[in-house]
């Protein structure tokens, strides 16, 4: 997961330290030493994230943040404001200026890594939403950005045995959000969280009945809460468990005792992220223009795929990012139609689409390519990572039999998959990109089926 990060600070030693830390995690780093230079660089290079110091000459961080957030061309870029330790006034002013997140000096490495990773994921979702909005506009569809920018009616679940702390969180959030539910029992909270369709789950790390890490892992493993942001509460000194929590699926953390302005900022960020993801799914499954959807499987059709792939390729080239594409074909699909009828074949296609969609990212593009073929476009993904995703999908389809025609038929199914990564030579003719993946698909077919083949 790569990102281009703009570091803005007038102190050279601060810039060098942040630059070294970020480059060590393989991010691309550009730097500015004052507000005016930062504005110029943002316009020219469109970074994915901005790390913005507050105290600078010519134009302070608040002014820069406000201008960027008021500009339609840059409002979508996440901004992390760097503040002095425990300076609540700066944080409140930063929220009012539009800041998405905060880091306090001296900057902790765990905090820096967690914030950057969380915002990078958010930016990927925003970029894909904007890109699909452009494609929808080209072919007469609609965008989900309006929905994604509304967060006041968010549904938030707080899980905490500390009654005083839970009440503090409730009192802060009730001023900004419509529905806040507090639960003290983590076992009950797991059931409620899965059934409740929450926009955010806030959970403590310590419980008497269960391990907070286990609870986080359980939420992340369920289909219903796989994309629900999880914000954990952690003691300052509990670094080892904090890193583990981020590894098992937590999106971000807050240290206790809680800072109210930081709580608001982190909750705003995670709820926005969930709304952006929801908006992408609304585009995928509920697009107003039926002409872009396959009526049987409810995923995008070939017409939309052809139009959107051009935008994805253009975006990947501009950002110098990898791009992979997989084509999946159902093995012996004709035999299903011949043995059980076309109704069974239609039901199988719908169930295959469901299994694929549950095992790819919200930013990936899934479309019905034609007949019994599906295609998945994976931005910011190299061929090795794409192979791992494809192998997971192949295995999930092969292991669990499909029940067709009102549970009267149980049928084992496999798929063959071909994968290609975009090359420079594909830029002149995108069809070559598709043809290469198609060639690997037929190689998988000819070498025994139920396998993944790539270069």
CATH number of 293-453: 3.30.70.270
Share of the chain above pLDDT 70, in %: 92
What would the mean pLDDT of 329-333 be, rounded to a whole number? 95
For residue 144, pLDDT beyond 60? no
Give dist(CA 105, CA 86) in Å, integer.
Answer: 9
User: Per residue in 2-21, pLDDT tens?
Assistant: 789 999 999 999 999 999 99
> pLDDT value at position 223?
86
Beta strands 49-53 and 4-8 are: parallel
* Contact (CB, 8 A) for 345 and 333: yes
> pLDDT value at position 121?
81
pTM recorded for the entire structure: 0.59
DSSP one-letter string for 353-413: HHHHHTTS-TTSEEEEEETTEEEEEEET--HHHHHHHHHHHHHHHHHSPEEETTTTEEE--
Tell me: cis bond preceding 335? Omega within 30 of 0 counts.
no
Report residue 147's pLDDT band, with 50, 70 and 90 as the boundaries.
Answer: low
Considering 19, 128, 347, 372, which one is annotated as catalytic?
372
For the question of residue 372 being annotated catalytic, the response is yes
For residue 51, pLDDT beyond 50? yes
Q: DSSP letter at 259?
A: P
User: Per residue in 166-219, pLDDT tens?
Assistant: 999 999 999 889 899 999 999 999 999 999 989 999 999 888 877 888 999 999
Structural domain 145-285, CATH architecture = 3-Layer(aba) Sandwich (3.40)
Give dist(CA 158, CA 136) in Å, integer.
Answer: 37
User: Per residue in 91-121, pLDDT tens?
Assistant: 778 877 888 888 888 888 888 888 888 788 8
Beta strands 79-84 and 49-53 are: parallel
> pLDDT value at position 286?
53
Residues of the chain within CATH 3.30.70.270 domain(s) are: 293-453
Beta strands 373-379 and 409-411 are: unpaired
Q: Give 276's contacts (C-beta < 8 A, 6+ positions apart).
A: 122, 125, 126, 129, 148
> pLDDT value at position 235?
77
Q: Which helix (H) or strand (E) holds 29?
A: strand 28-32
What would the mean pLDDT of 288-306 be, rounded to a whole number? 81
DSSP one-letter string for 77-121: S-EEEEEETT-HHHHHHHHHHT--EEEEESPPHHHHHHHHHHHHH
What would the mean pLDDT of 25-54 be, rounded to a whole number? 93
Q: Give 57's contacts (C-beta < 8 A, 6+ positions apart).
A: 10, 34, 35
Q: What is the dihedral of CA 92, 14, 72, 287, to 10 degrees?
A: -90
DSSP one-letter string for 262-319: HHHHHHHHHHHHHHHHHHHHHHHH--S-GGGB-TTT-SB-HHHHHHHHHHHHHHHHHT
Q: Which CATH class is domain 4-107?
A: alpha beta
For residue 143, pLDDT beyond 70? no
Residues of the chain within CATH 3.40.50.2300 domain(s) are: 4-107, 145-285
């Amino acid at each position: 997961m790569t990102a281009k990060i703009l570091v803005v600070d007038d102190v050279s030693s601060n810039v060098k330290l942040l630059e070294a830390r970020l480059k060590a995690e393989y991010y691309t780093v550009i730097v500015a030493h004052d507000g005016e230079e930062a504005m110029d660089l943002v316009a020219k290079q469109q970074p994915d994230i901005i790390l913005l110091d507050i105290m600078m000459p010519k134009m302070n961080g608040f002014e820069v943040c406000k201008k960027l957030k008021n500009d339609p061309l840059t409002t979508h870029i996440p901004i992390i404001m760097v503040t002095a330790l425990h300076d609540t006034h700066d944080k409140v002013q930063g929220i009012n200026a539009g800041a998405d997140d905060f880091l306090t000096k001296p900057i902790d490495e765990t905090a820096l890594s967690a914030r950057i990773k969380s915002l990078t994921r958010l930016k990927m979702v925003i970029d894909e939403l904007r890109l699909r909005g452009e494609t929808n506009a080209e072919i007469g569809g609609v965008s989900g950005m309006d929905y994604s920018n509304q967060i006041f009616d968010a549904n938030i679940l707080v899980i905490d045995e500390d009654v005083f702390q839970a009440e503090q969180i409730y009192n802060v959030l009730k001023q900004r959000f419509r529905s806040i539910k507090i639960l003290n029992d983590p076992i009950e909270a797991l059931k409620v969280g899965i059934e409740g369709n929450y926009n955010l789950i806030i959970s403590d790390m310590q419980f008497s009945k269960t391990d907070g890490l286990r609870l986080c892992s359980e939420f992340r493993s369920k289909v219903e809460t796989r994309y629900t942001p999880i914000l954990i509460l952690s003691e300052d000194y509990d670094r080892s468990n904090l890193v583990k929590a981020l590894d098992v699926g937590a999106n971000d953390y807050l240290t206790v005792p809680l800072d109210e302005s930081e709580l608001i900022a982190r909750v705003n960020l995670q709820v926005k992220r969930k709304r952006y993801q929801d908006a992408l799914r609304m585009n995928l499954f509920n697009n107003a223009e039926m002409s872009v959807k396959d009526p049987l499987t409810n995923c995008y059709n070939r017409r939309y795929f052809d139009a959107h792939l051009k935008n994805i390729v253009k975006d990947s080239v501009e950002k110098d990012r990898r791009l992979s594409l997989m084509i999946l074909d159902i093995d012996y699909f004709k035999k299903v139609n011949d043995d059980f009828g076309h109704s069974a074949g239609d039901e199988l296609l719908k169930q295959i689409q469901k299994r694929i969609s549950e095992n790819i990212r919200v930013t990936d593009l899934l479309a019905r390519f034609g007949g019994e073929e599906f295609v998945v476009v994976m931005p910011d993904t190299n061929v090795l990572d794409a192979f791992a995703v494809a192998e997971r999908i192949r295995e999930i389809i092969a292991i669990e039999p499909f029940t067709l025609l009102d549970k009267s038929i149980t049928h084992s199914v496999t798929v063959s998959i071909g994968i290609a990564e975009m090359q420079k030579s594909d830029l002149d003719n995108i069809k070559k990109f598709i043809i290469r993946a198609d060639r690997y698909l037929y190689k998988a077919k000819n070498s025994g089926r139920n396998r993944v083949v790539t270069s």
